Amino acid sequence: MRESTKPPLLEKGWFDEGIVKRAEVATEEAPPESRVRAGLEVLIGMAETDPTAARSALLEFRTDHLRQSRLEAWLGGDPQRATFSLGAAIQLADNELTSSSPNLEALVPDLLRWLEGEW
């Protein structure tokens, strides 16, 4: 049997559904004002275990317009503003993941500002 060469955060070109499910559970269990933070913390925790795979998953997400539109709808507000906010957050995370020592935790305030529409 041949071992897979895909990064562990990816499965068949999609985010690993287990990671997505953990983020969904975290957001559902959090109070409404903390839902974005709860989901973000799960994703950051997973990304820090393998930044290279996280970046690959993030790049796959950029081309997954259906999943992006679902997340934008969940974020709420003006659809164009949600699209811009998500794009900004993706760009911040992508830039950090390319550094030699990525630290997504340091970006949490900026990521939340974008994702919660506080800009």
Residue pLDDT, tens place only, 86-108: 999 999 999 999 999 999 999 99
Query: Which token pair is 60?
Result: 């796959």
In which domain, by residue range, is 54 found?
A: 12-115
Model pLDDT for residues 37-91, shown as the tens digit of each residue: 999 999 998 888 888 888 888 888 888 888 889 889 988 889 999 999 999 999 9
Query: Which token pair is 11?
Result: 């499965």
The whole-model pTM stands at 0.80
62 vs 13 pLDDT, higher one = 62
Judge whether 7 and 53 are in contact, CB under 8 Å: yes
Please give the tally of structural domains in the chain: 1
Q: Is residue 30 part of a domain?
A: yes
H-helix or E-strand spanning residue 41: helix 35-49
Q: Is residue 32 part of a domain?
A: yes
What's 10's DSSP letter? E
Judge whether 61 and 20 are in contact, CB under 8 Å: no
Q: Is residue 2 part of a domain?
A: no
Q: Which residues are paired to 10 by β-bridges?
A: 15
